[in-house]
Amino acid sequence: MFKIEKPDDELVKTVETKLIVDLVKISLQSDPSKFCMMPRKFVNQDLERIKNMKIYDDDVWVVTYPKCGTTWTQEMIWMLGNNLDYKTSLSMKLNDRFPFLEYSGIFEEFSTDSFETCSNMKRPRYIKSHLPLFLLPEQLWTVKPKIIYTARNPKDTFLSWYHHHRHFQLYKGNKIDFTTASVKDLMLYSPMNDHILEFWKIRNQPNILFLFFEDMKRNLDQEVKKAMKFLDKDYSQEEINKLCQHLSFESIRDNKMINKSEEVKNVKESFGEKYDENEYTIIRKGQVGGYKDELTAEENAMIDEYVKRGTNKECGFEYKF
């Protein structure tokens, strides 16, 4: 069913880290154009069991390409689905409420089996994944639980992914190599264009909600209401206003139940690196257009070409900036 091969481009080695090693290309034997870059550990540990995972109709899934507003979307969806339970949200980490399916299959040093954690959760299960459509559980497409997908433009995404790699995955390379690997689809979870387009094509199915990070930034109230309706919930405008404040960038950034500051600290200190809580959290800037201050002209040009390849007029998809 799958073909596993090591890319012959040496650039892939430059974006591997102490935590993410031996990236390989997983493709469908029946359609080699569908592929994803993942660590070999994922292939050995998780590929088949995730494909065969038991799915329930009351599951709620958040799926994204990395750094597309995943954490933000998770917190919004969990709160809406759990009767705006601020007490639990402020005392229980998001990772425990909404675990990451393939997490232990990505990192070299991870003691907990994240697949088992997700499989054995009390229902209704809230599950996060960055896997592309063709690597997700087969039963998602027959049982059809609710799936929320969030997309973001590649310029802000690649930049955020770069900073995430530097601080959380201990990447020691430079930004131009990272950007080049990204547009050549050699990064972990690449290719981004295909990841998003595959979900865009099924966005009108009743169990799929397709969101844009940029829309959430520009009108959170509207996107919260859209998600509330999708989850068959009904809250007052006063309750929605309070939730939007809880989901504001400042609130999320400073919330230790959500911002993964402890996880970043543990990773850095376990490898003997200094941790500065003011330097980085998973919620970094949360901007639309933040790339304008950091990408070089060369990097911008490379990603412009990538954006063109991802724009699909036939199915009506365009990135938002």
- Residue 93 to residue 261: CA distance in whole angstroms: 11
Please return the burial class of 236, using the count of CB atoms within 10 Å of its CB with bins 0-12, 13-18 and 19+: exposed
Q: What's residue 207's pLDDT?
A: 98
If pLDDT is split at 50, 70 and 90, which confidence band does 170 have?
Answer: confident
Q: Are 114 and 103 in contact (CB under 8 A)?
A: yes
If pLDDT is split at 50, 70 and 90, which confidence band does 283 have?
Answer: low
The answer for residues whose C-beta is within 8 angstroms of residue 283's C-beta and 6 or more apart is 71, 72, 249, 252, 253, 258, 259
Domains and CATH numbers, the chain: 2-310 (3.40.50.300)
Q: What's residue 62's pLDDT?
A: 98
Please return the burial class of 70, using the count of CB atoms within 10 Å of its CB with bins 0-12, 13-18 and 19+: buried
Residue 203 has pLDDT above 70, yes or no: yes
Strands (E), 152-236: 208-212
Q: What's residue 158's pLDDT?
A: 96
Q: Could you say which DSSP state residue 148 is in?
A: E
Percent of the chain whose predicted confidence (pLDDT) is above 70: 95
pLDDT digits (tens, 9 = 90+) for 136-147: 999 999 999 999
Q: Which residues pair with 7 in a beta bridge?
A: none
Helix (H, G, I), strand (E, B) or coil at 26: strand
Considering only residues 95 and 169, tell me which one the structure prediction assigns the higher pLDDT: 95
Q: What's residue 277's pLDDT?
A: 66
If pLDDT is split at 50, 70 and 90, which confidence band does 285 have?
Answer: low
Among 72-76, 138-142, 191-195, 268-272, the range scoring the smallest mean pLDDT is: 268-272
Q: Which two tokens stand for residue 177?
A: 């190599």
